[in-house]
Structure formats: structure tokens, C-alpha cells
Amino acid sequence: MLKTILICGASRGIGKSLVSVLAKNNNLRLWILTRNTTSLKQEYRNHDRVTVIPFDLEHNAKAQLQPFLPDIGPIHALINNSGHLEKGPFKALSMAEYRRCMQVNFFGPVELIQTLYAHLLEGKAHVVNISTMGAYQGSVKFPELTAYAASKAALTNFTEVFAEEQKDCGIRMNCLCLGAVNTEMLRAAFPGYEAATSAEEMAEFIADFTLKSGRIYNGKILPVSSSTP
Ligand SMILES: NC(=O)c1ccc[n+]([C@@H]2O[C@H](COP(=O)([O-])OP(=O)(O)OC[C@H]3O[C@@H](n4cnc5c(N)ncnc54)[C@H](OP(=O)(O)O)[C@@H]3O)[C@@H](O)[C@H]2O)c1
């Protein structure tokens, strides 16, 4: 039987590579949630195991997904890969920028999980939340990322509490705190900086972790970075 995986945020960067890695696996049925359906629909037009759904974490999740829920069925894994980064000195960041980070990085994924809850339960899903080393307790911090890092920290902490609360229901949830990866997000935030890890390498790791580690790990916050400490 095919396993059903949902990936939120896939038009570029790590998410785009994730779809490319997972689409090669003949045992998987993929549902791609993205704001930019055109290019992904074109790319996967001949792929009958990949469905692209228009979805924006800044809009109501239930209203957007309702038409597709009957066809989605049991979900075996959900990867919350989307992220929005606002960079600026604390005094310059507006409350609108803080709210946007909280919406895309925390409230949106929470609402998505609530909307899909029955399907996650049915599939005994492994939910993988993608966070950042900046939200990992005790890590080296970078200035001007208060809105981004704090909103990802909310998702990180949510993971631990959700996993504890739901541990007897069968849904597993873990959070990967990524170090720097060469993507548009990194280039925009840190111009000129070259990360040691490519989007493709990180996508391979996340795909493997999602498929294999849900039974071993639950409620874990895992740093995924080659930098020390
Ligand atoms: N690159 C790094 O160094 C790094 C480090 C630590 C953590 N991360 C995290 O890794 C994840 C992927 O990052 P990336 O580097 O690949 O970034 P990216 O190239 O900027 O891609 C960000 C993704 O977020 C999605 N997204 C943004 N706003 C959204 C919204 N309103 N609704 C739905 N999706 C939205 C986009 O999806 P669509 O366009 O498909 O809607 C896009 O695929 C993010 O969670 C990021 O915070 C990245």
C-alpha cells in the first residue's frame, strides 16, 4: 500500500528538493501544499503519485484544504517545511513583521495540524517540523533574527508538548533544527555567506528521517548542523 506524505512549502529551496527526493520513491503518494502551484504542477504533470494543492499559511487552512480532504485519506507523514524570515534590528522590526513570522512559522502550521488531525491519527503519522538552530536552546545566536528565531522556537516547543499529549494516540512529532543551508532564504538573510550544506543534501536527510525515524524518536528537538558545538 502507498504511504501518503504531505509537504508544506515546496516551490523552492529545501522543500523543492524534498519533493524531488520523495517523488522518486514508488511507495509514496505525495500531496504538495504550496502558494506557487504553476511551476510544480508543470514539473509533476506526468507524475500520478504527486498532487499539488494551492495553500498559503497566511490564510484559513480548513477552508483551503476542505475540498481535498476526502481524497487525502490517512496521512503517514507531514513535513512542515515552510518558513518565513524577517531580518532587522529589534527596534526596526514592526509588529506586522513579528506577526507574519508567527503566522507562517507557528500559527499556520498549528492550524494545518488541527485541520489534518483526523487524517494524521488514521495514518499514525510522523509529523516533522522544520525549525532552525537559532531556536535551539543554548545554540550560538545571530543578531537581527528575533522575530524569525522566536517564532520557530514556538514551533519547536509546541513539538515537545504535542508529542507528550498525543503519545498514546499514535501520532509522532519531532522537530529538526537546521543549521545553514544554501537556499534563497539564507542568501537573502546573509548575503555572500556560503553554507557547507546544499538544499539537496538537507532534503535527503529530512526525507530519510521522516520515513525511518518516527518509530524511534518522538517529541525530540534535534540539531541538524555540521557546525560546532
Ligand atoms: N536555509 C537555511 O539556512 C535554513 C536554516 C535553518 C532553518 N531553515 C528552515 O528550513 C525551511 C526551508 O527553508 P529554505 O531555506 O528552503 O527557505 P526558502 O527557500 O525561503 O523556502 C521557504 C519555503 O517556505 C514556504 N513559505 C513561505 N511563506 C509561506 C506561506 N505563507 N505559506 C506557505 N508556505 C510558505 C515557501 O513555500 P511555497 O512557495 O511553496 O508556498 C518556500 O518553499 C524553513 O522552515 C526555514 O526556516 C532554513
Please tell me the pTM assigned to this model: 0.98
Is 70 exceeded by the pLDDT of residue 96?
yes
Q: Residue 11 Cα, ligand 1 centroid: separation in angstroms?
A: 9
Domains and CATH numbers, the chain: 3-223 (3.40.50.720)
- Say if residues 17 and 200 touch (Cβ distance below 8 Å): yes
- pLDDT score recorded for residue 194: 94
Mutate to test the pocket of ligand 1, among 112, 183, 193 (most ligand atoms within 8 A of CB): 183
- Atom index in ligand 1 nearest the CA of residue 180 equals 3
Percent of the chain that is helix, strand, coil (3-state, to 5): 45, 20, 35
Rounded Cα gap, residues 131 and 154, in angstroms: 9
> Which among 127, 125, 124, 112 has a CA at the least distance from the CA of 65?
112
pLDDT digits (tens, 9 = 90+) for 118-177: 999 999 999 999 999 999 999 999 999 999 999 999 999 999 999 999 999 999 999 999
109 CA distance to ligand 1 centroid (A)?
Answer: 12
Distance 124 CA to ligand 1 centre (A): 26
